[in-house]
Amino acid sequence: MAVITNVQNQLLSDTEVVQRIFVHIDNATTDKGEQTWKEPVDNYRSKKRLDAELKILQNRTIVFCPSSALTKSGDYIARDVAGIPLITVRGLDGKVRAFRNACRHRGVQVAQGTGCARALVCPYHGWAYSLDGSLKSIPHEHGFPDVDKATRGLVAVACCESNGLVFVNQNPQANIEQDVLSVPKLIPDGYRLLNSSSQIVEANWKLHLESSLEGYHIRQTHKNTFFPVQYDNLTLVEAFGENSRVAFPYQSIEGLRHKKQTDICVNARLTYVYHLFPNVVISTFPGCMQVVILEPIDESTTRQHTYLVSDIDEKETEQLKAVFEGQKFAAKGAIEDLNIVLSAQRGLASGANTFLEFGLFESAIVRLHTHLAKEVGRLDNPLCE
């Protein structure tokens, strides 16, 4: 597997991106992929397919949250990952660990949602676990003469913090430290959590994801929001490993036309959307970044976890106000996307299509489906590469 510097080198520099965008602006062109794709509607609707996708997610190293969502010892986040309840917690030693979120007495989740605790105490009968997962105490312990506390800690899941992100992998054979090397540093040092939220989206996780990965819909879907400040159908699409980066320029990029190459700063000139295969999207916005994790609930329901991170100091109220204004604007566009996605979800059931069509402008989505098809194929034939 490639080392970090090589991964970073797979992506163009900001200066190269800006130069390529100017070529597209001047020629009214955009990046095009090499192939189109027909994705069977069944792959969005079948339980069998979703089960396969969950299995893939359970056996991959995937982003759980940004590190800044777990800053202090005792900070925890409990949520499902590919249908399995997990909890991540920062220990007294500063290390983030992940566990299957099930009490070793009778399986109840030891914590829900987010919080900060000195110990994880099961809400049912009060078995208490240290932040490193070890079973610390059992109320009225004499009732459990056979329980060896040393072997009844929370069950650990592979967890690793790298470049400002927390990763987990539920496969006990995983080499998570190796895997995270394939993800370049996306979140700069010093970024802290501004806010986080979760929302249910009544659509298949892939339909929802697809709406972030192409700029072919800017004029039509975002007529009065993004289109007046961006470009219709003008994106740069790059591949790194199974992942993609899509650059969406704003018209303000024109301000960089005559800048020296060394002065290039793309903040507020373009949005990078990084798709970390399969279910994570990290986007850059003016003054902040957004980490979105899509948790498939069933074939037609997704839970979206969103983390907004920034390096703007809490005391810089004017700058923070500007970030939140920008986010309000982005949220308008996100609602437009959401309505389209919900409509596409209903379209799946209409019987009109046996497949969805992805063109040359939608190559990041083609890559998503290509790799997913390969992974599903591997589940069916584990010996085939």
Query: What is the contact surface with ligand FES in residues (CB under 6 A)?
Result: 103, 105-106, 108, 122, 124-127
Alpha-carbon 166 to chain mean position? 11
Q: By C-beta, is 126 or 228 nearer to ligand FES?
A: 126
Q: In the stretch 339-378, what mask flags binding to Fe ion with x, by CB under 5 A?
A: ----------------------------------------
Of 14 and 337, CB closest to Fe ion? 337
Considering only residues 283-342, where is the footprint of Fe ion by CB under 5 A?
A: 337
Distance in Å, CB of 144 to ligand FES, minimum: 10
By the rule CB under 5 A, 210 interacts with Fe ion: no
Instruction: DSSP for 194-242, please give it.
Output: EEEEEEEESS-HHHHHHTTS-STTHHHH-TTTTTTTS-TT--EEEEETT
Beta carbon of residue 127, minimum distance to Fe ion (angstroms, whole number) = 47
* From the list Fe ion, ligand FES, none, partner contacted by residue 125 (C-beta under 5 to 8 A by kind): ligand FES
**Closer Cβ to Fe ion, 295 or 337, answer by number:** 337
In the sheet with 270-276, reading across from the earlier edge strand, the strands are: 192-201, 301-310, 288-298, 280-285, 270-276, 243-249, 236-240
The total number of residues shown for the chain amounts to: 385
As a whole number of angstroms, the distance between CA 101 and CA 80 comes to: 9
337 binds, among ligand FES, Fe ion, none (CB under 5 to 8 A by kind): Fe ion
Q: How far is the CB of 220 from Fe ion (least distance, A)?
A: 10
**H-type helices in the chain, by residue range?**
4-9, 14-27, 42-45, 47-58, 176-179, 205-210, 218-221, 317-348, 363-380
Q: Which entry of ligand FES, Fe ion, none binds 280, CB below 5 to 8 A by partner kind?
A: none
Other Cβ atoms within 10 Å of 64 Cβ, number: 27
Listing DSSP states for 240-269 in one string gives ETTEEEEEEE-GGGGGGTTS-GGG---TTT
DSSP label of 153 = S
* Cα distance between the two ends of the chain: 16
45 binds, among Fe ion, ligand FES, none (CB under 5 to 8 A by kind): none
Rounded least distance, CB 384 to Fe ion, Å: 36
Q: How far is the CB of 30 from Fe ion (least distance, A)?
A: 15
Residue 169: phi and psi, rounded to 5, are -150, 125
According to DSSP, residue 365 is labeled H
Give the integer Cα–Cα distance in Å for 273 and 291: 10
Q: Which does 119 bind (CB under 5 to 8 A by kind): Fe ion, ligand FES, none?
A: none
CB of 138 to ligand FES, least distance (A): 8
Closer CB to ligand FES, 150 or 352, in the complex: 150
- 52 vs 111 by CB, closer to ligand FES: 111
Tell me how far, at minimum, the Cβ of 339 lies from Fe ion, in Å. 10
Q: Which does 127 bind (CB under 5 to 8 A by kind): Fe ion, ligand FES, none?
A: ligand FES
Instruction: Tell me which residues touch Fe ion (CB under 5 A).
Output: 337
